Structures are given as C-alpha cells and as structure tokens.
Chain A
Amino acid sequence: MAAVAEAGPRSRRVRDLFEDRRFLAPALIGPAALFILLLVGAPLVLAVYLSMTDATAGQLSGKFVWFNNFVDAWHNDNFRRALRNTIIFTLASQAIVLVGAGILAHALVRPFRGRWFLRLLVLLPWAAPVAVSTIGFLWIFDSQFSVVNWTLVHDLMPGGGHFYLYRPVNWVLGGIDHLPWVHVGKIDRLNPPQWLGQPTLAMVAIIFVQAWRILPFATVIFIAGLSSIPTEVNDAAKVDGATGLRKFWHVTLPLQLPIATVALLFGIVFTATDMTVVYILTSGGPFNSTHMLTTWAYQTGIVSSNLGEGAAISLYLLPVLLVVTVLMLRFARRVEVS
C-alpha cells in the first residue's frame, strides 16, 4: 500500500516508513502502551512483589513470605465474606441496572414533551462526583435523621386522611414472609430500620446506591444501542407484522444483546473495583459484614498497616475480573456476528 511521494529521496524514505503498516501500527500504539506500562504496569509489579512479603506501614519492602499472605487471607472469615459480598453487590446492583436501564431506555427513545428535562433528572446520579453524593446518602440513611425512615413512619396526610406509608409496606413485607426461606420482618414504627446498622439492610443500601449511580450510565448506553438499530430492521419487522411484545422478543432484544453486554461489563468493572461507596457508607461495618475486597484490602493494608496482606487481598480481584471480562467479550463478539 505504498503511496507515491514526490519529494526527494530522504524524505521519501521517511514518508515510506510512515506508510508502512508494520511501523505505523506500533508507532501509534507505542505512546499509549508505554504510558500504561509505566503508570500501571510498574506499580502493579511492585504490588505483586509486596504481596509476597511481610511489608508493613508504608515501607515498600520486606521479607519474602511467598504465598503465605494469600493463604492467610483465604483463611480469614472476613476475607471470604468480602469476596462473597463483592460478588453479591456486583451481581445484584448490575441486575437492577440492566433491567432498569433496558426499560428506561425504551421509554426515552421516543420523543415526548418534557423529555429533555426528565432526561436531565435521570442523568443526575451519574453526573454527581461519587464521593460527595455518597456522603449525601450517609445523611439519607442516617441512624436517627433518615428521611427514608421519616417518610415511612410519619403521617403523610395529617390534615384529612392519615396515611402512613409503613402500613402498605408492612402488608407487602408480610406477604413476602409467607414465601419459604425468606424472613424479612416488619417495620416497627417506634424503631425504624437501621439502613446502615443491620447487616442485611446495609447490604441493601449499598446495592441501591451502586445501582442508583450506574443506572443513568447504562441507560445512555442502551439508548445508543437502540438508536443503532437500522430503520430497515424496524420497517421489516413492521412489514412482517411483528409489533409490540413479539417485536421486542424476536427483534429488539437480540439486537440489544451486544450493547447490553457492554453495559453490563462496564457496570461490573465500576462496581467491583469501587472502594468509595462502601468506604463512605459503612466502612465495611457493621462488624465487617459489608466489606468488599477493595475495602478489606484497604483496611488490612493501610489502616492496620499490614501492607503485604493488603496487597495480596487486592490481587485476588484481578483474576476474577479477568475471567469475567474475557468471557463477556467473547460472548459479545459471538452475538455480534450472528
């Protein structure tokens, strides 16, 4: 694919070089690869080294203990719970995001009056810096002043009707209690739920916040996917008589799978590697029951000064995410092709 250069021989050679795919490709990737190698790769190697030593308190060296840290981490109950929590939080929040974003995107694709404003509202959680918006949730879920509890427990129509929100909620909860394996209890008016103080509720709160902040992001991705369905496909479907639910099932859903996979992948990465939400909301409490791998690694490595162990715990995350990512990318590509 040589282009014909018209200048003198020397500059022609340089230009030819730039034309040569074998030179150009690495030359273009080079800077990015070098940057990443230096700023991510090198510290990562150092972190791997640390995880195999008994380093403490900031000193970046220590005696080699090989895989002791990894084994010790595994034997710690808190670690296993952190691993379980990472999986639960990620899957639960992303399931909510997937379903929610799918529905919301469908509704937002068609124009209607006020759509711009409603879209603005939908975008707010993603636009807010996560650290400060989570602090806001700390107040929303506060142990004494939680607005959620206030709304549940107080008379919302003091003038006339006397409506208490916790009554219909308790009715629903009572129904759920009839299901096997599930026991949720009821809302006690005098002792409203401790959103950040009871282990199960704290997990619910964290899952909610993660889903809340990722939903707009996923919605935008879904809207993009929907708008990429070529109009011919829509028309063809109409011609074939497929409308509404059938069209959704046979046409829209399959075409959305690739984009859904992408949204899911990003969502999983953002949630599983995130430390901020759990750190700010519960710091891993109550009794270390809401730790994720990231926060448990932080607590072990920084707060308790066991740097080597902290590094080892962080590294557990990498292979898990690696497997997930590779699987999903393969899946996306296969679905694309078909």
Chain B
Amino acid sequence: MAENDDGLEELGLSKSLTRRQVLRRSVGGFLVLYGGALPKVAAAGVPKYVHKHYRNTLKIIQWSHFVPAYDVWFDKTYTKNWGNKHDTDVQVDHIALAQLPARAQAEVAARSGHDIFGHLSPQAGLEDQVINHKEIIQEVSRKVGKVSQVGFKSCYNPKTRKWHGFPENYVPDPIHFRRDLWSQVGIKPSTWEDVRKAAPKLKALGHPVGLGMSNELDSNMLLIALMQCYGAFIQNAHARPAINSKHTIEALKMVRDIYKRGMTNEVFAWTAASNNQGYLSGRLSLAVNAISIIRSAEDANPSLAKNTSVAPIPRGPIQRLGLEHVMGVYTIWKFSKQKALAKRFIADLEINYQGAFKNSKFYNFPAFRGAVHNYARQLAADPHKGKYKVLDLIARKYTANLGYPGFSNAAIDEIFNTWLIPQMFAQVAQGKMTPAEAAKAAQQEFRPIFAKWRSRGKI
C-alpha cells in the first residue's frame, strides 16, 4: 500500500490531500446532519398516510396542470373537503404529461395502482382494463343534463357498448393572433385562405405565423383540426380509414404553401412549448393553442397580452371545426378496490364543476355542459375585458372529438400517439413527397392499424 502512495505521489496525485480532508469533513458534517433523514424518509416512503380520522382511502393520479393554482386548489381544498364529507383520505399524485402512458401500463401490469387515473385523451386502448363508466354518466346526466357530443364520442365505444372512460373536461383550442401585426397587413385570420395570404407578408415583417409540424401535441391537434376544416378526416363515421381524399390533398397543399412562403424549418423541431415561447417572445403573429399562451402573457408580458386576440379556428372551404386541445378523461381500473367511492368522487366533481372551471382560469370546460351556469357572464367577468367570451362559442360550436366524424377508438389513439399526421404534413412541406403520394401512403399506413384493432373486436 505504501508503494502505491509513493507511486501516486510521483504522479502528483496526492497533492490535494489537505483539500480533500477539508471537503471530507464538510461532507461528513452534512451527512451527520442528514443522518436523521434516513428514518424520516423511510417513514415518508409509506404512502398510506395513517390518518386516524378516515375510514377509506382514495388514490388519484393526474397531470400537473399548467395552472399551478389549479393543482393547489384541487389537492388542498377540493379533495380535502370532499374527503371530510365522505370520511375518506383522498391522495392526489401528479405526473408529467409524457409519462402518462408508461405509468398507466405499469399499473395495469402490476394490477394495482391508483383508483382514479386522469388521462389527457380518451384511452380506448385500455378499454379492457377499466370498468364500464356508464353508471357515472347516468348519475351525472340525471343531475345536470346530457353529456356533450364531444364527450360522448370521445369516451363511448359503439361496438362494445362500453363507456371506456368518463369525460370530465375538455379544453377548447382557439387561435391567438397579434391584432396589431395583422392590422398592419390589413387581413384578419377568419379563413385559412386569409392565413395563406397573410403569411408571407407577416414573415416579411419578421413575425411569421406559427403552425407546428413536429412530433408533439400542439402540431397534432392543429393539423387534424385544419384537415377537418378542409373536409379531410382520418376515419369516416364507420371507423374506416378515409384519409386518402382530395380534401386531404388540398389541406396538404395549403400547409405546404404557407410553410414555403411564410415559415422556417424550425417548425419541424418544435416541442409543445415552442409555439408558447415563440408567441411570448413577440415573434410569432399567430399560434393555435389553448389559452395557456395568453394566460402566460398576462403574467409575464401584459402589453403583449393586450395586443392579442383570441378567436375560433379559421374557416376552411368546407367548414369551421376545431378539436379539443386536450380532454380530461378519468378512468377506474377493474382491479380498484374503491370503485364505488371513485364513482362518487367523479360524479360529485362533475356535478359541481364550477370550482374547477374557475380555478383552471377557464382552461377546463366541463364535458357536461349543464354542470356550469352562466358561461357568458363568467367569461365576460374576467378582468381582461371580455377576451374570453369567445371560448364559450368555440366550446359549443367549433369543437369536435378526436376521430370525428366517427368515435375515438384505439386505432385513432395509435395514429395520434405515433404522430403520423404531423409527419405526413412535414414530409409534404419539405418536398419529400407530393400531397397525392402522402395521402396514399398514409392510407396504407392506417389500414393495418385499423385492421388490427378491428380483429381484436374493438372497432
């Protein structure tokens, strides 16, 4: 051992001995201080917080809401009050949006997990692992009225006659645009043709429009909605792939044109945050996104917020129809031990949706329209001068479900989750395929997916 040290000394490696000692002592002190952490953390590792008062425990998991105040309200106020009324300890865990599928599958594999799982899109693929949510639908309908079309067609499977999820909320998807810049070019984004005309002019001003074509949520929603406006759909009402149509080709041509003359290739690299950040920096003149953009602007850049208008999706040659940005779907696993309690919780949440509607800053719209009263008045009462009134119109008239005109199903889920639509648009925009080729290739890609799920009896 001594030889080793000598060797090290020769190589000059033991010079830092004193420094090391100093550090070692401070690290040691740190460890001693936190020595108490071990039992503390081990105890905290027990999630079953033994609360003497409550008879039951209900575990919920859902995403971290982009409005942190919503999570604070939900976790600390709403669930606690509900829990007190029902003698239940309600535990709410959060998870990042991207990890939802992995976590869901892990719970299924483990046959144990949370009683209520909050997804952000209908999960038709998990149909076999969840209960039939019919009872909750019926209970809520009795109290506040029918479920909206969006909710119905997102969470109901007509083939198996099963409600594979409870549609709790959906988020309308308006466009945000810079009034001041658009008035400079003298156009308003009421139709997609207007956008096509304005795009090169706005780019020349240094403020291009922002239509993402990347593997992320915003691009997915925007492009499918745009297709709808052109009468192009992924499937028809009978759940057969219908993407190869002249409408699709026209939509592809339109986006390619906008890209070539009005955007740069950054849009192929966008994340879900990119259009937010691009708009907030003052650069983008148009973004299609839920109101997270303007709410962030109100906090960070009030002058920008004043110049921003919120409007429905532009009209296409066939119609004006958008999609929900995300849809909050609650599911209860078949193996949950608190099914009755979970159903009660969900029903109560939906029936009294006013709190959630307000605390999410109007991000969450209830899937049962009657659960909230006086939309117009509440939206108008927002301190930002009636900007949000249009959300009601969008939510009522211009929001369709994913999979429109058919129902959301596992095949749609798979196509959505693997970004096949943004990829189709991106390849056309970059000139890698002609629109006709792309539409045909997409149809061929979709057919086996639909066939697979059909053979499993889900469509």
Determine if chain A interacts with chain B.
Answer: yes
B257 at the interface (CB under 8 A from A): no
B12 at the interface (CB under 8 A from A): yes
A198 partner, pick from B102, B104, B106, B265, beta carbons under 8 A: B265
A142 at the interface (CB under 8 A from B): yes
| Residues of B within 8 A of A (CB-CB), count | 46
Interface-located stretch among B50-58, B273-281, B290-298, B379-387:
B273-281
Whether A195 pairs with B269 at a CB distance below 8 angstroms is yes
Most chain B CB within 10 A, of A116, A286, A307, is at: A286
A151 at the interface (CB under 8 A from B): no
Known A198-B265, A227-B8, A304-B414; contact A286-B105, beta-carbon cutoff 8 A: no
Whether B104 pairs with A144 at a CB distance below 8 angstroms is no
Contacts of A258 in B (CB 8 A): none
Whether A116 pairs with B16 at a CB distance below 8 angstroms is yes
Whether B108 pairs with A59 at a CB distance below 8 angstroms is yes
Known A57-B108, A58-B126; contact A303-B101, beta-carbon cutoff 8 A: yes
Whether A57 pairs with B126 at a CB distance below 8 angstroms is yes
A143 partner, pick from B15, B16, B107, B270, beta carbons under 8 A: B270
**Distance of A314 Cα from B147 Cα, bound (Å):** 42
A197 partner, pick from B11, B15, B106, B268, beta carbons under 8 A: B268
Contacts of B283 in A (CB 8 A): 144
Contacts of A56 in B (CB 8 A): 125, 456
Shortest C-beta distance, A179 to chain B (Å), equals 25
**Distance of A60 Cα from B283 Cα, bound (Å):** 49
Shortest C-beta distance, B128 to chain A (Å), equals 7
**Distance of A197 Cα from B109 Cα, bound (Å):** 35
Contacts of A133 in B (CB 8 A): none
0 or 1 for each of B237-270: is its CB under 8 Å from A? (1 = yes):
0000000000000000000000000001111111
Whether B15 pairs with A198 at a CB distance below 8 angstroms is no
Contacts of B102 in A (CB 8 A): 298, 302
Whether A144 pairs with B266 at a CB distance below 8 angstroms is yes
Whether B269 pairs with A143 at a CB distance below 8 angstroms is yes
Contacts of B423 in A (CB 8 A): 287-288
Q: Which residue of B has the minimal Cβ distance to A55?
A: B109
Q: How large is the interface on A (under 10, 10 to 19, 20 to 34, 35 or more residues)?
A: 35 or more
Whether B266 pairs with A143 at a CB distance below 8 angstroms is yes
Contacts of B10 in A (CB 8 A): 231
Whether B266 pairs with A194 at a CB distance below 8 angstroms is yes
**Distance of A284 Cα from B126 Cα, bound (Å):** 24
B266 partner, pick from A109, A197, A302, A307, beta carbons under 8 A: A197
B417 at the interface (CB under 8 A from A): yes
B301 at the interface (CB under 8 A from A): no
Shortest C-beta distance, A141 to chain B (Å), equals 8
Contacts of A307 in B (CB 8 A): 105
A57 partner, pick from B125, B265, B271, B278, beta carbons under 8 A: B125
0 or 1 for each of A13-38: is its CB under 8 Å from B? (1 = yes):
00000000000000000000000000
**Distance of A198 Cα from B267 Cα, bound (Å):** 10
Docked complex: A113-160 residues within 8 A CB-CB of B? 116, 138, 142-145
A10 at the interface (CB under 8 A from B): no
Known A143-B266, A144-B277, A197-B265; contact A303-B15, beta-carbon cutoff 8 A: no
Q: Which residue of A has the minimal Cβ distance to B213?
A: A286
Whether B215 pairs with A231 at a CB distance below 8 angstroms is no
Contacts of A286 in B (CB 8 A): 214-215, 268-269, 426
B459 at the interface (CB under 8 A from A): no
Contacts of A195 in B (CB 8 A): 269
B229 at the interface (CB under 8 A from A): no
Contacts of A298 in B (CB 8 A): 102
Shortest C-beta distance, B410 to chain A (Å), equals 7
Known A57-B128, A144-B278; contact A302-B105, beta-carbon cutoff 8 A: yes
B7 at the interface (CB under 8 A from A): yes
Docked complex: B1-18 residues within 8 A CB-CB of A? 7-8, 10-13, 15-16
Closest 3 CB pairs of A and B: A197-B269, A58-B108, A111-B12
Chain B interface residues (CB < 8 Å from chain A): 7-8, 10-13, 15-16, 19, 101-102, 104-109, 125-126, 128-129, 214-215, 264-271, 274, 277-278, 281, 283, 410, 413-414, 417-419, 423, 426-427, 456
| 30 pairs, A vs B, C-beta closer than 8 Å | A58-B104, A58-B106, A58-B109, A59-B128, A109-B11, A111-B12, A116-B19, A143-B271, A144-B281, A144-B283, A191-B264, A191-B265, A197-B268, A197-B269, A197-B270, A198-B265, A227-B8, A227-B11, A230-B7, A283-B215, A286-B269, A286-B426, A287-B215, A287-B427, A288-B423, A299-B418, A302-B105, A303-B101, A305-B105, A305-B125
